[in-house]
């Protein structure tokens, strides 16, 4: 017959699993590398004389740690300081690892590559430095990688692009350089690489058609993207601004379920020819080299930035009608080669709407408030308009000759 105290001990063992000793020691090492910033009290519950599975941010399954969320998750909390100890790699069952914004410095430990069950890795808004370990490419289960708002350098490892389960990769606001690797995961919906120093071109098949959010702004990327964009028909947000992309943009792009289209400050050229009425709320294609007449199919865009291009001809009457009925909130047409607009000089533009016409090949018939960057000149110098008209005629004639010869 088993004595009562032995039976009670066995019962306790079965009811409350004791944390695996390796995980216990790993948590101790992680704690030694980190401290609360002034005003933070996150580590108050980390008393290693008690059960670690009851610590703040520690989640267990049986005797293993499966999730570690370091720092107080409440908005505005001061966060943590210190660095990430390589012992994190010993938490063999870890599926989720996050750190709240703070002042954690140093490199991302290579030992993360040992966490074969890791699905979520998020250490954003800290001061991580050094390269992104290429060994993260061993994490075949990884779905989200968020290392944004740090000081990471080097290139994006191509092994990360080969991860099959990735759905979110957020590396924005770092100092990353080199080219963007191709991404193979057909689950990838969000790719945010803005505010880095990435360069090179994007191949037509380098991004999966599953993408819904794509931001590559504030980099040094070059080359055409028309074939690539034509495939990404699930996009609801696209920002390629402040790069050096060139070539034309496909008309089919305007049919995608986009809420925001940002292509400004590139080297895009050619006519802008949507294939149907555009219902994207915000379209910004300013500061490029687009030419030709403005398409009336853009009349349902609420915020339309066409300024600083080479558009010619009359402003479509339907755009004017939509502006006067407050359907268009912003219509920026300055710094083009437009020759006319049908609008009553005494008309009152709705208070909620903005129109800028200055520095075109016409005298603006209405006085409107323009951005300060538009300058003070109302119209282009006549010689520029004559010169541009001559260039346009020559180009048209050359195209006609090419057509005839073909």
| Average confidence (pLDDT) over 192-216 | 97
Over residues 171-187, the mean pLDDT reads 98
- Residue 298 tokens read as 């853009």
| Torsion angle in degrees (nearest 10) through CA of 109, 115, 119, 122 | -20
User: DSSP assignment of 376-400, as one string?
Assistant: S-SB--HHHHHHHHHHHHHHHHHHH
- CA nearest to 121, candidates 81, 150, 78: 150
Task: Pull the structure tokens for residue 18.
Answer: 């004791």
- Which residues, in sequence order, are CB contacts of 314 under 8 Å at separation 6+? 293, 338, 339, 340, 341, 342
> What is the three-class DSSP state of 293?
strand
d(CA 233, CA 241): 19
Nearest to 80 by CA among 41, 117, 119: 41
pLDDT value of position 113: 97
**CA gap 209, 236 in Å, rounded:** 12
Both structure tokens of 372 = 């300060």
Per-residue model confidence (pLDDT) at position 395? 55
Q: Which tokens sit at 319?
A: 């755009």
Judge whether residue 2 has pLDDT over 50: no
Residue 6 clears pLDDT 90, i.e. is over it: no
Mean pLDDT across the stretch 271-282? 97
Question: Is the pLDDT at 13 greater than 60, yes or no?
Answer: no
Alpha-carbon Rg for the chain, nearest whole angstrom, is: 29
Domain ranges of the chain: 21-269, 270-368
**What residues have CB less than 8 Å from 260, skipping those under 6 apart?**
237, 238, 239, 280, 281, 282
Average pLDDT over residues 240-245: 98
Beta strands in 294-353 (DSSP E): 303-305, 310-315, 330-332, 337-341
Report the pLDDT averaged over residues 292-318. Answer: 97
Average confidence score pLDDT of the chain: 92
11 has pLDDT over 50: no
Instruction: Report the share of the chain in percent with pLDDT over 70.
Output: 92
Which tens digits make up the pLDDT trace of 68-91? Answer: 999 999 888 899 999 999 999 999
* Per-residue model confidence as pLDDT tens digits over 121-155: 999 999 999 999 999 999 999 999 999 999 999 99
**Rounded-to-integer distance, Cα 213 and Cα 147, Å:** 17
Pairing of strands 244-247, 197-200: unpaired
Closest CA to 183 of 223, 224, 216, 217: 216
pLDDT of residue 393: 58
d(CA 130, CA 248): 37
Q: For residue 315, is pLDDT > 50?
A: yes
Predicted local confidence at residue 217, as pLDDT: 98
Q: Which CATH number fits domain 21-269: 3.90.79.10, 3.40.50.300, 3.40.50.20, 3.80.10.10?
A: 3.80.10.10
Say what the pLDDT of residue 114 is: 97
For 10, phi and psi rounded to 5 degrees? -65, -40
């Amino acid at each position: 017959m088993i004595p009562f105290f032995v039976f009670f001990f066995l019962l306790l063992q079965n009811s409350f699993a004791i944390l695996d000793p390796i995980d216990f020691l790993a948590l101790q090492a992680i704690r030694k590398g980190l401290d609360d910033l002034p005003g933070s009290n996150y580590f108050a519950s980390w008393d290693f004389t008690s059960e670690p599975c009851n610590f703040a941010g520690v989640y267990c399954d049986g005797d293993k740690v499966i999730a570690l969320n370091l720092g107080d998750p409440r908005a505005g909390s001061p966060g943590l300081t210190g660095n990430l100890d390589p012992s994190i790699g010993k938490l063999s069952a870890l599926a989720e690892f996050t750190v709240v914004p703070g002042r954690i410095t140093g490199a991302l430990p290579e030992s993360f590559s040992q966490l074969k069950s890791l699905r979520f890795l998020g250490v954003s808004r800290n001061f991580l430095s050094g390269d992104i370990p290429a060994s993260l490419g061993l994490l075949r289960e990884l779905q989200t990688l968020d290392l944004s708002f740090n000081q990471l350098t080097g290139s994006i490892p191509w092994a990360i692009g080969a991860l099959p389960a990735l759905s979110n990769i957020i590396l924005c606001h770092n100092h990353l350089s080199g080219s963007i690797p191709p991404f193979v995961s057909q689950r990838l919906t969000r790719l945010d690489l803005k505010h880095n120093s990435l360069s090179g071109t994007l191949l037509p098949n380098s991004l999966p058609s599953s993408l819904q959010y794509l931001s590559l702004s504030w980099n040094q990327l070059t080359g055409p993207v028309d074939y690539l964009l034509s495939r990404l028909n699930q996009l609801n947000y696209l920002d390629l601004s402040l790069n050096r992309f060139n070539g034309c943009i496909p008309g089919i792009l305007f049919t995608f379920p986009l809420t925001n289209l940002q292509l400004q400050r590139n080297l895009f050229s050619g006519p802008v020819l949507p294939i149907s009425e555009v219902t994207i709320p915000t379209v910004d294609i300013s500061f490029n080299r687009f030419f030709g007449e403005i398409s009336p199919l853009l009349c349902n865009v609420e915020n339309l930035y066409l300024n600083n291009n080479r558009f010619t001809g009359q402003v479509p009457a339907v755009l004017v009608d939509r502006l006067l009925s407050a359907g268009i909130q912003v219509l920026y047409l300055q710094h083009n080669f437009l020759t006319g607009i049908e609008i009553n000089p005494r008309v009152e533009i709705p208070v909620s709407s903005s129109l800028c016409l200055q520095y075109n090949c016409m005298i603006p018939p209405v006085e409107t408030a323009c951005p300060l960057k538009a300058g003070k000149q109302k119209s282009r110098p006549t010689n520029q308009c004559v010169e541009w008209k001559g260039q346009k005629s020559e180009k048209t004639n050359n195209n006609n000759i090419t057509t005839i010869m073909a």
